[in-house]
Chains A and B, each alone.
Chain A
Amino acid sequence: MDKLINDFSVGLFFWQSLVFILLIVLLRKFAWKPILDAVNEREESIEGALKAAEKAREEMKSLQANNEAVLKEAREERERILKEARDMKNKMIAEAKDAAAAEADKTIASAKAAIEAEKTAAIAELKNQAASLSIDVAEKILGQELSAENKQTAMIGKIIEDVKFN
Chain B
Amino acid sequence: MRSNFTVLIALAGFLFFTPLAYAQGENHEEIQHEQAHHEDAHHAEVHDEASGEKDIKGVIKETIEHHLADSYEFHITEGVGFPLPVILVDGGLKVFLSSEFHHGGVAAVDGAHYKVNHGKIYKTDAAGTITYDDHHHPTNDKPLDLSITKNVFMILVMAVFMFFLFRGVAKTYQTSLAPKKAGRFLEPIIIYVRDEIAIPNIGEKHYKKYMSYLLTVFFFIWFLNLVGMTPLGVNVTGNIAITFSLALMTFIITQVSGKKDYWMHIFWMPGVPVLIRPVLAIIELIGLFVKPFSLMIRLYANMLAGHVVIMSILGLIFIFSSWVAAVPFSFLTLFLSVLELLVAALQAYIFTMLTSLYFGAAVEEHEHH
Contacts and interface: CB of A to CB of B under 8 A. Distances in A.
Interface of A: 4, 7-17, 19-24, 26-28, 30-36, 38-39, 41-42, 45
B44 interface: no
Nearest to B89: A11
- Give the most central of A7, A15, A21, A24: most B CB within 10 Å: A15
A34 B212 contact: no
Contacts of A32: 166, 170, 211-212, 215-216
B170 A31 contact: yes
Tell me whether chain B's interface is mostly helix, strand or loop, or mixed.
helix
Contacts of B212: 24, 27-28, 32-33
B167 A45 contact: no
B167 A31 contact: yes
A29 to B, nearest CB: 9
B45 interface: no
Chain A binding site: helix, strand, loop or mixed by DSSP? Answer: helix
A11 B163 contact: no
B177 A30 contact: no
13 contacts: A4-B240, A7-B239, A8-B244, A10-B241, A11-B152, A14-B146, A20-B245, A24-B213, A32-B216, A33-B212, A36-B194, A38-B170, A41-B177
Of A7, A8, A33, the most chain B CB neighbours within 10 A belong to A7
A12 B145 CA distance: 9
A68 B191 CA distance: 47
Interface residues of B, number: 44
B109 interface: no
Contact of B240 (A7, A17, A19, A41): A7
Contacts of A35: 166, 169-170, 173, 183, 187, 190
Nearest to A34: B170
Interface in B146-201: 146-149, 151-152, 155-156, 159, 162-163, 166-167, 169-171, 173-174, 177-178, 183, 187, 190-191, 194
B242 A39 contact: no
A12 B216 contact: no
Contacts of A8: 240-241, 244
Interface of B: 70, 87, 144-149, 151-152, 155-156, 159, 162-163, 166-167, 169-171, 173-174, 177-178, 183, 187, 190-191, 194, 211-213, 215-216, 220, 239-242, 244-246, 248-249
B194 A30 contact: no
A13 B244 contact: yes
Given A16-B242, A30-B170, A36-B190, 15 more contacts: A9-B70, A9-B149, A10-B146, A11-B147, A12-B152, A12-B239, A13-B245, A15-B155, A15-B156, A20-B155, A21-B249, A22-B159, A24-B213, A31-B167, A45-B177
Contact of A11 (B146, B156, B171, B173): B146
A53 B212 CA distance: 35
Contacts of B241: 7-10, 12-13, 16
A103 B246 CA distance: 120
Contact of A27 (B148, B163, B244): B163
A28 B215 CA distance: 9
A27 to B, nearest CB: 5
A39 B212 CA distance: 15
Contact of A30 (B163, B178, B211, B213): B163
Nearest to B163: A26
Contacts of A41: 177
Nearest to A4: B240
Central interface residue in A14, A16, A42, by most chain B CB within 10 Å: A16
